[in-house]
């Protein structure tokens, strides 16, 4: 099957408008006869569910948490981009489009990204109208800051809790529709399979996590909005429950999985301290606006710091290596995440790491505190030579901007980041890969859509900061509601989809037999035991830098862990009750398959781009080396029974509006 | 560290439940409280016993999923944090730690330490929103300037994570702090003023119907709230309610 991305004809800046002018509409009376299932109620699913219900469809929404308000989008800290150009610093839809394509290392689809940039402007208006308290300046207007990979200030934020506030906005829009009876919300429910009837997605099998009961739900279309799969690494910044299950289950039923190896390693996370650790915590990238990143310039100083004989504050300016400012003078500390992450790894590998494990660099706010303090002193006509006063004033400004992040850091590390520089290290954060979708956000299964982080579409090989929130809300509020209507227009006479059919029987039977196997398997190891093993292989061989040998080994090792899992996993409790071990087991089973495809994808992509760095393909200076002649395509994998047998389909990426050049942030 | 844990075990909503003792060793000060429970659960599973059920997800203090009444305090013995942000360095070698679920009529136990907080959602369905369509066809976001002070206070109220510690810690199991936070967030913004009257009346009615107790101003909620939601919000909600009732 050749991949049809369904990109409309015409110039890039009118494609979306033209498309909307010509799609089929469903009249309001008919929408009442159409059901849509939305799996996942984060920013993408929540906004989609609310909007579809508001348009008149009957929506059934599902999430595994006890409330949509807890979806992982809540954890996003830094902000959301929009090409509003409120700052008058030269921003525009084109520039946001350009930055995003370049940031993605020319591996994203132009038409999608342009549409994203266009609707970004509406997102902010929408959220403010919903009562989302975004940060304001004294004059009452919205405030902005900047993020890595851009030179304009286009990021809207709510302190360090932007995701929380945006999600609560979507949640409130959902609440309005739940109250009206237009959304039926299924909390603590997990989708375990999709049901196809005549090749179209017509329902799901879900497990009620409280009673353990398997339920059948039918609809005219199914939307997957279940977030990213970074937890395949075990340690990541994702929430503990984040998983690939729904995306993987639709993959097994015919949805292609695109670019699984594109993973974002975020440069500013709290470093790993030991084997007990269950997850990693991000320190928002917005900190790089004000924090300067450095390691000791001399190996002996680094060693002294590791051994606790010296403190970072003991080192004079001249003895510090602000390596990002040194290597990338024009972007400095604000280079994109992949560049910053690799640079940190390079310094630590060279022996300059600053924590006990040698895997940490400093993020230092001393200069910012001093700069802000002096500015405040001037504004308030105070003495700018009074060091203590300047520190206090500056500290207040920094606290105002990032207070909760500093508190978070303090609670975890037990060190005051105002007086001692933070220690940070890269960690797995976001997955740019995901289910392949066309311009309509439909997967290769008819009637099955995929939005938000779960799809592959807008970020290419790398994601710039503050663009995931934007994509989730763009998909849910402004894109899917149009494209799905175009599809559903054919279904106005279909009537209710029955659930007592062979297709539903079959799907439920398969889910049940997997659960029975896991429950009756009298193994000796917990689910976490296998998940951690998988995570180690992923991080060591498929992590920040990859090579052919490591990847080939990883594929075999993962297959072996998977085999061992089915023989030796122990799940206690019962299937028909609240059982968190079983929940984990079902998720890890899918990670164990995805992991292998992930490695296979990384192995086949003989180039370095964005978050995918193949050691064999780097420049003399250690920068990523892309191969546009051979790899300017989306790798979309078709399931064939075993992950390593997946078949590759290529969607060629054509750049008509932006010239592909080597990404440089020097 | 070696510790003794006394944990509430309850099979399901119908079961009576009881405290059960566990001994655990090898706990490091850098572990979070939930990681300590992971260690225990791993041991239980490998022995073939059922692990202790507890709610958690983000593990960074923002989703509001984790709960736990630890040594008689909601989210344990530290201020301004959730249970997932509590670290074992707050405990000492040989300590005995009591771990119980949130207790309130409106939060029935599902299993062990997991309770059902969907009553919070139902209060939101009654009015926790601004009635604006999600079409994006609204006016430009900068058209209505919002005084920074109001925007910040609205934000402060909006930071409530819906964890329910306020209810669990209140001797009347009142949900006033939670509900007032939402009412305040909207009451402080021009966009939210339009529906302010119906909102407060509807939400308070929903809150009463869920079986939460009354507020008698003991202030325990504010002390235990991980996000520092202030009692001022309750005062604001009362004012809103009063003026709505006489309208
Ligand atoms: C710590 C952190 C900070 C971040 N900061 C930023 C930032 O500042 N700016 C930015 O733009 N992006 C940021 N991101 C990225 C961004 O938050 C996410 O990419 C985005 O929120 C994902 O939204 P989503 O709706 O696709 O998925 P999620 O919010 O992850 O939602 C997934 C939903 O699916 C449900 N679900 C999953 N599986 C199933 C299943 N099988 N059955 C039923 N339901 C299921 C869950 O219950 C949940 O409701 C950050 C991410 C993290 C982790
Ligand atoms: S008010 Fe505080 S304690 Fe109560 S639910 Fe909100 S965050 Fe939790
Ligand atoms: S697990 Fe999310 S707040 Fe504790």
Of the residues B109, B141, B146, the best mutation for testing chain A's interface (the one with the most A CB atoms within 10 Å of its CB) is B141
E-only strand ranges, chain B: 3-9, 18-24, 69-70, 73-74, 96-100, 109-111, 114-115
Which of A216, A337, A546, A626 does the annotation list as catalytic? Answer: A337
For B187-231, write each residue's pLDDT tens digit.
Answer: 999 999 999 999 999 999 999 999 999 999 999 999 999 999 999
Q: Which residue of A has its CA nearest to B60?
A: A281
Containing A265, the helix (H) or strand (E) segment is strand A263-269
Contact A596, A559 (CB under 8 A): yes
Q: Which numbered atom of ligand 3 lies nearest the CA of B85?
A: 4
Q: Do A136 and B114 touch (CB under 8 A)?
A: no
Minimal Cβ distance to B50: which of A74, A173, A572: A572
Verify whether the Cβ–Cβ distance A570 to B148 is below 8 Å: no
Taking the CA of B212 as reference, the closest ligand is 2
A644 CB near a chain B CB, below 8 Å? no
CA distances from A138 to A50, A143, A145, B151, B201 (A): 33, 9, 15, 10, 33
Rounded to whole angstroms, how far apart are CA atoms B212 and B174?
Answer: 5
Mean pLDDT of chain A: 95
Residue A355 φ/ψ, nearest 5 degrees? -110, 180
Q: A284 pLDDT band (50/70/90 cuts)?
A: confident
The DSSP 8-state label assigned to residue A236 in this structure reads S
How far is Cα A517 from Cα A529, in angstroms, rounded to an integer?
18
Cα separation, A604 vs A548, in Å, equals: 9
What angle do the packed helices A548-568 and A580-604 form, to 10 degrees?
A: 160
Asked if B179 and B204 count as a contact pair (C-beta separation under 8 A), the reply is yes
Q: Which of A179, A107, A249 is nearest to B123 (CA)?
A: A179
Which of A49, A56, A133 to mutate to test binding with chain B, by most B CBs within 10 Å of its CB? A133
Give the integer Cα–Cα distance in Å for A369 and A422. Answer: 14
Sheet bearing A257-258, strands edge to edge: A434-435, A257-258, A633-638, A647-652
Q: What is the pLDDT of residues A422-479, one digit of tens each?
A: 999 999 999 999 999 999 999 999 999 999 999 999 999 999 889 999 999 999 999 9
Instruction: Tell me the CA–centroid distance for residue B34 and ligand 3, in Å.
Output: 10
Q: Which residues of A touch B119 (CB under 8 A)?
A: none
How many distinct helices (H) and strands (E) make up chain B?
9, 7
Q: State the Cα–Cα distance between residues A293 and A421, nearest whole angstrom.
A: 9
Q: Which residues of B touch A480 (CB under 8 A)?
A: none
Quote the ligand 1 centre to A453 CA distance (angstroms).
Answer: 7
Interchain contact, B57 vs A124, CB within 8 Å: no
- B28 neighbourhood in chain A, CB within 8 Å: 274, 276
> Using CA atoms, how far apart are residues B22 and B37, in angstroms rounded to an integer?
11
CA distances to A254, A365, A407 from A400, rounded to whole Å, are 49, 14, 12
Q: What is the pLDDT of residue A150?
A: 77
Q: Find chain B residues with C-beta within 8 A of A411's C-beta.
A: 61, 81, 85, 87
- Give the model confidence (pLDDT) of A201-241 as tens digits: 999 999 999 999 999 999 999 999 999 999 999 999 999 99
Task: Report whether A50 contacts A174 (CB < 8 A).
Answer: yes
Q: Is the pLDDT of residue A1 over 60?
A: no
The rounded distance, in Å, linking the Cα atoms of A339 and A463 is 12
pLDDT digits (tens, 9 = 90+) for A164-200: 999 999 999 999 999 999 999 999 999 999 999 999 9
Q: What is the pLDDT of residue A2?
A: 67
Is A337 one of the catalytic residues?
yes
- Show the ligand 3 pocket: residues with CB < 6 angstroms: B 56-59, 61-66, 82-84
- Chain A stretch 37-56, residues whose beta carbon is closer than 8 A to a beta carbon of chain B: 47, 50-51, 54
* pLDDT greater than 70 at residue A361: yes
Q: Label the pairing between strands A633-638 and A257-258.
A: antiparallel
CB A171 within 8 A of CB A132: no
Beta bridge partners of A430: A264
Q: Give B136 Cα–ligand 2 centroid separation in angstroms.
A: 31
- B29 Cβ neighbours under 8 A, 6+ residues apart: B1, B87, B88, B89
Cβ of B85 within 8 Å of Cβ of A125? The answer is no
Q: Which two tokens stand for residue A416?
A: 């005051």
Nearest to A276 among B39, B51, B53 (CB): B39
Name the percent of chain A lying above pLDDT 70. 99
Per-residue confidence (pLDDT) for residue A341, from 0 to 100: 93
Q: Ligand 3 centre from B75 Cα, in Å?
A: 10
Identify which ligand lies nearest to the alpha carbon of A165: 1
Among chain B residues, the shortest Cα distance to A182 is held by B125
Length, in residues, of chain B? 247
| Alpha-helical segments (H) within A544-659 | 548-568, 580-604, 628-631
* Ligand at shortest distance from the CA of B158: 2
Q: Do B141 and A573 touch (CB under 8 A)?
A: no
Contact A35, A219 (CB under 8 A): yes
Substitution target in A116, A211, A242, A411 with the highest count of B β-carbons within 10 Å is: A411
Cα A120-A125-A127 angle, rounded to 5 deg = 95
Q: Write down the pLDDT at residue A404.
A: 80
Crossing angle of helices A93-103 and A110-129, rounded to 10°? 120
Structural contact between residues A461 and A612, judged by C-beta atoms closer than 8 angstroms = yes
Element (H, E) at A221: strand A221-224
Residue listed under structure tokens 């292609």: A256
> Under DSSP, is residue A264 helix (H, G, I), strand (E, B) or coil?
strand
Averaged pLDDT for residues B16-43: 97
What's the complex ipTM? 0.98
Mean pLDDT of A16-35: 95
Q: Is the pLDDT of residue B160 over 90?
A: yes
Averaged pLDDT, B136-143 = 94
């Amino acid at each position: 099957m050749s991949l049809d991305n369904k990109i409309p004809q015409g110039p890039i800046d009118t494609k979306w408008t033209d498309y909307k002018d010509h799609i089929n509409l469903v009249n309001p009376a008919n929408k009442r006869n159409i059901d849509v299932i939305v799996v996942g109620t984060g920013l993408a699913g929540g906004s989609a569910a609310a909007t579809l219900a508001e348009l008149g469809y009957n929506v059934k929404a599902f999430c595994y948490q006890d409330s949509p308000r807890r979806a992982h989008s809540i954890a996003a800290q830094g902000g959301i981009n929009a090409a509003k150009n409120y700052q008058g610093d030269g921003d525009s839809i084109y520039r946001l489009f350009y930055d995003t394509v370049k940031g993605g290392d020319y591996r994203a689809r132009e038409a999608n990204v342009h549409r994203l940039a266009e609707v970004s402007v509406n997102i902010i208006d929408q959220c403010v109208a919903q009562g989302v308290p975004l940060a304001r300046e004294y004059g009452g207007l919205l405030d902005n800051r900047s993020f890595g990979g851009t030179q304009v200030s286009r990021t809207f934020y709510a302190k360090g809790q932007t995701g929380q506030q945006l999600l609560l906005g979507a949640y409130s829009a959902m609440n309005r529709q739940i109250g009206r009876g237009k959304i039926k919300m299924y909390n603590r429910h997990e989708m375990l399979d999709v049901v196809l009837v005549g090749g179209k997605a017509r329902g799901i099998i879900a497990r009620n996590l409280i009673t353990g009961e398997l339920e059948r739900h039918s609809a005219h279309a199914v939307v997957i909005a279940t977030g990213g799969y970074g937890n395949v690494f075990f340690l990541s910044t994702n929430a503990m429950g984040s998983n690939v299950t729904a995306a993987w289950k639709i993959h097994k039923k015919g949805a292609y999985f695109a670019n699984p190896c594109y993973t974002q390693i975020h440069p500013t996370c709290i470093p790993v301290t030991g084997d007990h650790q269950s997850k990693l915590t991000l320190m928002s990238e917005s900190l790089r606006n004000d924090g300067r990143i450095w390691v000791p310039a001399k190996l002996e100083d680094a060693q002294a710091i590791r051994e606790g004989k010296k403190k970072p504050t003991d080192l004079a300016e001249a003895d510090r290596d602000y390596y990002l400012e040194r290597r990338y003078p024009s972007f400095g500390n604000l280079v994109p995440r992949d560049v910053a992450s690799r640079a940190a790894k390079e310094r630590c590998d060279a022996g300059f790491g600053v924590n006990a494990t040698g895997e940490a660099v400093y993020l230092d706010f001393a200069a910012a505190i001093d700069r802000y303090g002096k500015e405040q002193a001037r504004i308030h006509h105070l003495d700018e030579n009074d060091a203590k006063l300047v520190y206090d004033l500056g500290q207040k400004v920094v606290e105002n901007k990032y207070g909760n992040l500093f508190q978070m850091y303090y609670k975890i590390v037990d060190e005051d980041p105002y007086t001692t520089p933070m220690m940070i290290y890269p960690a797995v954060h976001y997955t740019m890969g995901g289910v392949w979708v066309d311009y309509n956000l439909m997967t290769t299964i008819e009637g099955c859509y995929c939005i938000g982080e779960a799809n592959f579409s807008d970020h290419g090989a790398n994601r710039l900061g503050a663009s995931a929130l934007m994509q989730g809300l763009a998909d849910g509020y402004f894109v899917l509601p149009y494209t799905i209507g175009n599809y559903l227009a054919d279904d106005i006479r279909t009537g209710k989809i029955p659930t007592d059919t062979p297709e539903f029987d079959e799907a439920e039977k398969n889910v049940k037999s997997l659960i029975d196997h896991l429950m009756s398997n009298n193994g000796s190891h917990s689910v976490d035991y296998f998940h951690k093993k998988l995570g180690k292989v992923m991080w060591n061989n498929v992590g920040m830098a990859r090579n052919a040998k490591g990847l080939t080994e990883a594929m075999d090792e993962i297959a072996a862990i998977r085999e061992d899992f089915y023989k030796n996993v122990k799940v206690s409790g019962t299937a028909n009750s609240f059982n968190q071990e079983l929940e984990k087991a079902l998720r890890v089973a899918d990670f164990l398959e995805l992991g292998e495809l992930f490695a296979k994808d990384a192995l086949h992509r003989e180039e370095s781009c964005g978050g995918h760095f193949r050691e064999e393909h780097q420049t003399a200076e250690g920068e990523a080396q892309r191969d546009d002649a051979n790899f300017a395509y989306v790798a979309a994998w078709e399931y064939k029974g075993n992950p390593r047998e997946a078949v590759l389909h290529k969607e060629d990426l054509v750049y008509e509006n932006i010239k592909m050049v080597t990404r440089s942030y020097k | 560290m070696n510790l003794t844990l006394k944990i509430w075990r309850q099979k399901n909503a119908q079961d009576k439940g009881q405290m059960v003792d566990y001994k655990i060793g090898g706990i490091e000060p850098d572990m979070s409280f939930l990681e300590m429970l992971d260690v225990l659960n791993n041991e239980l599973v490998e022995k073939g016993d059922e692990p202790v059920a507890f709610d958690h997800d983000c593990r960074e203090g923002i989703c509001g999923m984790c709960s736990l009444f630890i040594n008689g305090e909601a989210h344990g013995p530290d201020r301004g944090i959730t249970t997932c942000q509590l670290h074992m360095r707050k405990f000492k070698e040989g300590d005995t730690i009591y771990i119980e679920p949130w207790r309130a009529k409106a939060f029935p136990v599902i299993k062990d330490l997991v309770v059902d907080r969907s009553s919070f959602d139902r209060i939101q369905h009654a009015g926790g929103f601004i009635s604006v369509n999600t079409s994006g066809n609204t006016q430009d976001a900068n058209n209505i300037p919002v005084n920074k002070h109001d925007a910040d206070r609205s934000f402060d109220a909006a930071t409530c994570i819906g964890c329910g510690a306020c209810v669990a810690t209140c001797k009347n199991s009142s949900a006033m702090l939670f509900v007032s936070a939402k009412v305040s967030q909207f009451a402080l913004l021009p966009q939210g003023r339009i529906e302010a009257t119906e909102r407060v009346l509807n939400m308070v009615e929903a809150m009463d119907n869920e079986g939460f107790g009354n507020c008698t101003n003991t202030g325990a909620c504010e002390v235990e709230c991980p996000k520092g939601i202030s009692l001022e919000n309750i005062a604001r909600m009362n004012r809103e309610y009063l003026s709505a009732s006489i309208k």
